Amino acid sequence: MTIDRRRFLGVLGAAFTLPAFTQSNPPPRAEHGNPAGAVTLEQARSNPLLALRRLQEGNARYARGEGVHACATPKDFAQVAQGQTPFAAVVACADSRTAPETIFDQGIGEIFTVRTAGNIVVGGGSAIKGSLEYAVAELGVSVILVLGHTGCGAMKAALAVHNGGPRAPGDIGPLLDLIQPAVEAAAHLPGDRLAQVTAENVRRGVARLRELDPIIRPAAHGGKTAIVGAVHDLATGRITVV
Ligand SMILES: [Zn+2]
């Protein structure tokens, strides 16, 4: 456990423990493939702004077709088998075209990822929120990024239901219900409806996390962890912070 994490957990109070998850802290590792001048993993882990910059740098490489896929050799994944030290947590859609490690050009062990259709946070329950709390409290990520994307099937389906379409079968219906508040809020916004629903769903996720006690709100308000929203444009590869 690093000094920073020990101090942070101390802030949360002595009653806060994570016995089932606690792992030994792995040693710092060399980064293979990170371009000269780019934000290092250790810098990103210690500074929320640098963590966001590292994601943006990696996305710019991906969009230019210059991804370096850092830490993708057998030596790299054998090293992270000892433990993980991701600098970011990303809540992304399950869509096959928006894989965070790929679109941010990050290596194995560098992004803690939570994915559902529609990148759900609000209403996502303990599986989603507990995973992100673990990422903050135990892994010490310095940024959580809620990431929507263009052409999202879940947003389209929620819009279709809102516009009078049939209810989806199985648990797809309840999943789409979680997106309806964003659909309704976006109804009053100008511009492309699907784009507005996508952005609103992201904004609501960010807002929920920023107020989520007892772990993420203090980390966000204390400057330990940045909570950011963005949309990934499937056609250009680029992300835009919302
Ligand atoms: Zn999607």
Question: 150 C-alpha to center of ligand 1: Å?
Answer: 8
Ligand 1 center to residue 120 CA distance, Å?
10
Give me the residue label for tokens 């996720």: 205
Residue 192 CA to ligand 1 centre (angstroms):
17
Cα(first)–Cα(last) distance of the chain, in Å?
A: 33
In angstroms, what is the span from residue 116 Cα to ligand 1's centroid?
A: 8
Classified as helix, coil or strand, 227 is: strand
| Nearest-5° Cα angle at 126, 53 to 25 | 55
The 3-class SS string of 186-217 reads HCCCCCCHHHHHHHHHHHHHHHHHHCCCCCHH
Determine the distance separating the centroid of ligand 1 and the alpha carbon of 155, expressed in angstroms. Answer: 7
Rounded CA-CA distance 33/107 in Å is: 9
Show the domain range for 82: 5-241
Q: Model's pTM, two decimal places? A: 0.88
Amino acid letter, 65: G
- The domain total for the chain is 1
> How many angstroms separate the alpha carbon of residue 107 from the centre of ligand 1?
23
Q: How far is the CA of 153 from the centre of ligand 1 (A)?
A: 5
Cα–Cα distance between 192 and 137 in angstroms, integer?
38
Distance 83 CA to ligand 1 centre (A): 30
Q: Residue 183 sits in a domain of what CATH number?
A: 3.40.1050.10
Q: What is the pLDDT of residue 29?
A: 55
From first to last of its 242 residues, the chain has per-residue pLDDT tens of: 344 444 444 433 333 344 444 444 555 555 777 888 999 999 999 999 999 999 999 999 999 999 997 667 888 889 899 999 999 999 999 999 999 999 999 999 999 999 999 999 999 999 999 999 999 999 999 999 999 999 999 999 999 999 999 999 999 999 999 999 999 999 989 999 999 999 999 999 999 999 999 999 999 999 999 999 999 999 999 999 99
